[in-house]
Amino acid sequence: MLTDACGLFTKIMPLRIYIACAVIILGAALLLIPSWDNLSRRLFLGVAVGGCATVLVLVVEKRKCFSTSLALSFSLIAPSVLAMLSGFAKLAIPLGAVAFCLGIISLIELVRQMRGRKCLGLGVGGGVVVASIAGLGSATGFGYDTTNIPIWIWVLSAAAPLGLCLGEFPGICLKKIPSACARICGCVILAVAAILMCVLFQNSSASSLYK
């Protein structure tokens, strides 16, 4: 909200991104959850999420089309499913709700595109929100994890929205349809990889208990 409010006073993109990163770092510093009781860890988390948000905002502002919202919708499925598998259903539900809302937004944008209207896109605020939800949501899930899912799987789920960058690779970015497909595939691959690794880990852990 603060990021979008700043847009009323300035259209300078770097300034808006700096403000967004500052808000994310402040939010991470105030985050009080297990495994993140050290302030330096929380600040590192905030910087990492802020970096992801910066990359995401640049892509979201460049690609104002339905495929961007759809790709981000798929990406947020990863932290939602991981939260459910870790036993934190109260976190999984709101994460899943945001993913569902992004799916609805992508459907609306698709209809607008089919009618020849310009898509508004998620904007700077939307990109920051998605990055924050994926990053801080995964960090919260890790903190309350009761099944000891490896931290690298949580990191993979937090980074799932960065799959958008696949559509910006040279040779793809200049082609509209391949770029859109690459953005969706990038997010889907990272999300599926995180979920699959989590399921395999839990299955191997469960089987070792019965040996």
Q: Which string of DSSP letters, residue by residue, matches 78-117?
A: HHHHHHHHTT-HHHHHHHHHHHHHHHHHHHHHHHHHHTTP
Asked if residue 208 has pLDDT above 70, the reply is no
Q: How many CB atoms lie within 10 A of CB 77?
A: 23
Q: How confident is the model at residue 6 (pLDDT cuts 50, 70, 90)?
A: very low
Rounded distance between C-alpha atoms, residue 85 and residue 58, angstroms: 32
More confident residue, 153 or 18: 153
d(CA 158, CA 129) in angstroms, rounded, equals 13
Residue 158 — pLDDT band, cuts 50, 70, 90? Answer: very high
For 10, list phi and psi in degrees, rounded to 5.
-145, 140
User: Model's pTM, two decimal places?
Assistant: 0.85
**Gap between the Cα atoms of 28 and 50, Å rounded:** 10
Return d(Cα 154, Cα 95) in angstroms, integer: 14
